[in-house]
Amino acid sequence: MDFFNIPEPKSFQRIQDEHACTQEQLLNEIKEIQQEQMQLLNKMQSDSKKQSIIEQNRFIVSTVISVSALIAAVVAAVAAIIPLT
């Protein structure tokens, strides 16, 4: 058995350096993921605002059409009642 070829164990400082490097890589990955999530959330918020405006406009148009139909019905009813008198 050759005892001169046994690898030297890692020093404590080297282990700490490797661990710090691994932690730094993980933190960088977390930051990248958080940035991607923020971009996605901002896009979702923007899309939601656009959809809300579209729905609001649809509601306004629907209300105007309903009021117009009501006015037409009232005019037709009045027109039908007037000849009876």
End-to-end Cα separation, the chain, in angstroms: 126
Section 51-78 average pLDDT: 96
| pLDDT tens-digit readout, 17-62 | 777 778 888 899 999 999 999 999 999 999 999 999 999 999 999 9
Domain assignment present for 2: no
Domain assignment present for 34: yes
- Quote the pTM value: 0.56
Distance CA 11, CA 13 (A): 5
Residue 65 has pLDDT above 70, yes or no: yes
The count of structural domains within the chain is 1
Instruction: Dump the DSSP string for 51-84.
Output: HHHHHHHHHHHHHHHHHHHHHHHHHHHHHHHGGG
Domain assignment present for 62: yes
Domain range spanning residue 26?
11-84
Domain assignment present for 40: yes
Residue 79 has pLDDT above 80, yes or no: yes
Tokens standing for 51? 């959809």
Domain assignment present for 4: no
Domain assignment present for 6: no
